[in-house]
Structure 1
């Protein structure tokens, strides 16, 4: 029995040693995995101001009359005058779009408001689509000349305000993403330094969405582009 116990003892010792080494390796692996879980998440901001390169200008006016034929003649004359004004300002015919006027018969419902002087009202709409943004801004100021001719063009209504568009987002995207990423890294490096750590590789990155808005209500032709990128870095001792 003693002869058989020695090999069994040696085998048992080797097994115990192996288990001990395995446990130590597993512990080291767990510690390394735990260290890899140390991260910092930061946000990087990039902003830029640009000028709009496209504009859509709805031009509207209203004409009233008690005679339908006379109303159509007057509407046509004033519409032609507005188109001529735009061409004189420097816009091409291809940039100007016309729609049929909307005619309202105020007696069509059978009830006549005694305060309404004219039976028919025509709402006329034109649209200017152009990349001549600065010229459009100048023309809006010159529009007062049409008012002097009896064409009351709407200017302050929400539906009559020009819409300004910036179409070159793809051209500025790469530089702005780089700027936002660099900004985020600077924040992460500051955090790592303050926590006595070293900044590691990026674990996760989210570019975020580009947002384009007017710089302010007085200058809608100047746009502000903004992007916020979110990055998660590993922290090393």
Structure 2
């Protein structure tokens, strides 16, 4: 009887181990199948007009009399403000920075030729406006200030015009949806080509939004771009 009981116990143990091995094998196969994934990217782009312009107007003036130089700056500043106002720029969009005054006699060394003017000044009047097109129209007429005696400075790095786009938050939801939808379309195509079914998302990441000039000739037109990366499970 004892021997028979031992045989029954051994047989049960063998069957139990076999069943456990089968279950573990099935579980391992299921896990392996779940590990089949595809990673795809979706792109969304928009071209939008800038909604803010920062336009520094820089000019220089010179004189041997400091008081006279300041009077010249005041006249020129008034002329610029008048020019901008007549072009439709609001007064609150115009700011005047303190002038940068240089005394040439204090910087002259040795016996070189004296500077024709002792004092020189660089003045900056800045327009910060949402009126993009009126400001661009005034840029094309800047020579009118030159005809009034202003020496307008060009090609100054600190005086370059900037165009900004501040409406990104309004675009984000739609662009993220578009990028995600495009990524899914790519994943579906991959799954179909590989005789698989597209499963759930394993992980997803949204890239940073970038805002750049459309090209060097049209800085007032911006290109907004975002790339979403999505990893999907694949099943048979």
Residue 29 of structure 2 corresponds to: 31
Correspondence list, 1:14-163, <5 A: 14-111=12-109, 113-114=112-113, 116-163=115-162
Residues in 1 aligned to 2:38 and 2:205: alpha-carbon distance in whole angstroms: 14
Cα distance, 1:158 vs structure 2: 2.9
In structure 2, stretches of 5+ residues that fail to align are none
In structure 1, stretches of 5+ residues that fail to align are none
Cα distance, 1:110 vs structure 2: 4.4
Residues in 1 aligned to 2:134 and 2:169: alpha-carbon distance in whole angstroms: 25
Residue 164 of structure 2 corresponds to: 165
Residues in 2 aligned to 1:109 and 1:155: alpha-carbon distance in whole angstroms: 25
Residue 222 of structure 2 corresponds to: 223
Residue 13 of structure 1 corresponds to: 11
Three-state SS of the structure 2 residue aligned to 1:100 is coil
Residues in 1 aligned to 2:149 and 2:170: alpha-carbon distance in whole angstroms: 45
The number of aligned residues is: 235
Residue 188 of structure 1 corresponds to: 187
Cα distance, 1:55 vs structure 2: 1.0
Q: TM-score if structure 2 supplies the norm length?
A: 0.96
Q: Which runs of 4+ in 1 moved over 6 A?
A: none
Q: TM-score if structure 1 supplies the norm length?
A: 0.96
Residues in 1 aligned to 2:74 and 2:172: alpha-carbon distance in whole angstroms: 46
Structure 1 window deviating more from structure 2 (198-207 vs 109-118): it is 109-118
Name the Cα RMSD after superposition: 1.2
